[in-house]
Structure 1
């Protein structure tokens, strides 16, 4: 992190006088460890402090659903976003708003956790910045959808044989239409 960066929440105190930056940090650490009760209390503190801190709570919960839950529960971002969208139907003064925050935190605490996407981003950021790696364009990507592929004369056959290849492919998937397309290509009915 840049040494010039200053977290704006450093200067904010919560409703009960806690440093907001510490509450935000503790919330994420407690969700990571599955410490539901304290995580819910921290979220509650954020909600009752101010609309700005409540909004930031939801921002953090969305990040946590990807950064810390990840493939442990791939639908976590969908659920958190759904709860956040539902929340928009309630006025700021509605007591039910706390219910959505606590429910979201309880859900995230109970999820299996996986930080591999965040770890991959951290690794890539360093490796790209240092010049160690760069993205590659594989030959099979040069198909009828690219200027280079068109120059190479690659058409639908190449696309369906190479460009549309799936891995991992659903076992026993319906291949009816793929086979029909390949037959049409064989017979010259499709170019």
Structure 2
């Protein structure tokens, strides 16, 4: 019985559509893992997948990487090189009933001595119950699972599934990889691309590391009939640049905001501005960036430059009033200012330490001398007794204890020797000396 979920034939097999036109990407599909361009960290000499195949101990896998990096091709080649029957499904179009049919067909094949490599595209789109459904069939050897995902498996896949599979991280194709792909395409087409050197480099950049998208571009360009090689400007008129991969709720969103935040913390205004613009080009909401930039001023600069928060809030307000593009330039001003501002997380550390102490001490009362006594009864209980009014004290500082009775005085806030906190540190040390003096001689 024909398998309803079989897709393209394995390498070397005839296709039902062989007589019809085939896209260049399909014609150049590698026939062995050795022909795959890129991904040396996975299939190069002594790489994990190479070692597995050499030892004859291929385990279930999760291919994690951006589009066009060879996930489907490598899964198909693995089946071919291990003599496993290849079955491909997509989590977008498959449900529980479909999975049951796949597992039953795999069981029948297994009884006949044929193993099954089940390739699941977009595996992260299956819910928890559906992902759990793979487990018994993986454990008893009915299927060898190869999943493909563009999302971080740590967040999108069940721990139980991940514990039974190895994650292989695939990377965007480098410019060098894409150039090799272009040369292979020119050989298959038996003609050179009608581009000068600079235009050829521009074409490589347009693909954004996506091999499949690049071959589609190459196929378009190769079909052009021109008198002489095109330059970058002429190429740009004929082709639209491929949009950079950016998902405002996915990995790229978190990767880029992390890069922006760490560039600011690392005092690199050029890098910070680059990641800020990458997010804008990807369609990020400038209001989200305004919030995150303001957060950076609180977390990483704090009192080393108190003006930083004001500049961020002002830039945010400018954006709300002007919109794009002037408002985005105001946010860029804030990004550059933050990157060059002195850095300190002293306030954050002090805040976290104080919160931890507050949770630990519970509902312990303040010392009575700093409590108000609005009634005679409360005054009789010692509320407000012996309170020292600081404005009446020498240097405007009484040195009294404001912590709960019996609690050892903590040292939460420890300013750094940078920016405005240098002055705050001097003030802190000054009050510490006065406090010690008052404690030694209460009358002074």
Say whether residues 1:106 and 2:336 are aligned partners.
Answer: yes
Aligned CA distance change for structure 1 residues 75 and 136 (closer, same or farther; 3 Å): farther
The aligned counterpart of 2:369 is 140
Is the radius of gyration larger for structure 1 or structure 2?
Answer: 2
- Paired residues in the alignment total 150
Q: Could you tell me whether the CA contact under 8 Å between 2:260 and 2:272 is conserved in 1? A: yes
The aligned counterpart of 1:162 is 389
Which has a greater percent of helix?
A: 1
Calculate the aligned-residue CA RMSD, in Å.
Answer: 3.6
Runs of 4+ residues deviating >3 angstroms: 124-129, 132-136, 147-150, 153-156, 163-168
Say whether residues 1:36 and 2:269 are aligned partners.
Answer: yes
Aligned residue for 2:322, secondary structure, equals coil
Q: Could you tell me whether the CA contact under 8 Å between 2:369 and 2:383 is conserved in 1? A: no
For residues 83-98 of structure 1, the aligned pairs below 5 Å read 83-91=315-323, 94-98=324-328
Q: Give the CA deviation at 1:134.
A: 6.4
Q: Could you tell me whether the CA contact under 8 Å between 1:141 and 1:163 is conserved in 2? A: no
Q: Could you tell me whether the CA contact under 8 Å between 1:47 and 1:54 is conserved in 2? A: yes
Q: Could you tell me whether the CA contact under 8 Å between 2:302 and 2:343 is conserved in 1? A: yes
Q: Give the CA deviation at 1:44.
A: 1.6
The aligned counterpart of 1:5 is none
- Cα distance in 2 between the residues matched to 1:69 and 1:63: 10
- Cα distance in 2 between the residues matched to 1:150 and 1:68: 48
Deviations 1:159-182 (A, max 9, x none): 7x43767557xxxxxxxxxxxxxx
Deviations 1:113-168 (A, max 9, x none): 11011112333344444x26767513332135xx4788217999x77x43767557
Q: Could you tell me whether the CA contact under 8 Å between 2:312 and 2:331 is conserved in 1? A: no
- Cα distance in 2 between the residues matched to 1:114 and 1:149: 47
Aligned CA distance change for structure 1 residues 155 and 121 (closer, same or farther; 3 Å): closer
For residues 173-188 of structure 1, the aligned pairs below 5 Å read none
Say whether residues 1:59 and 2:291 are aligned partners.
Answer: yes
Aligned CA distance change for structure 1 residues 141 and 29 (closer, same or farther; 3 Å): same
Aligned residue for 2:389, secondary structure, equals helix
Q: Give the CA deviation at 1:74.
A: 1.2
Deviations 1:61-102 (A, max 9, x none): 1111111001110121112111111211113xx321221121
Q: Could you tell me whether the CA contact under 8 Å between 1:90 and 1:97 is conserved in 2? A: yes
Aligned CA distance change for structure 1 residues 53 and 76 (closer, same or farther; 3 Å): same
Structure 1 unaligned runs (5+)? Answer: 1-9, 169-191
Provide the TM-score with structure 2 as the length reference: 0.29
- Whose relative contact order is higher, 1 or 2, with alpha carbons under 8 Å and at least 6 apart? 1
Provide the TM-score with structure 1 as the length reference: 0.63
The aligned counterpart of 1:178 is none
Q: Could you tell me whether the CA contact under 8 Å between 2:320 and 2:327 is conserved in 1? A: no
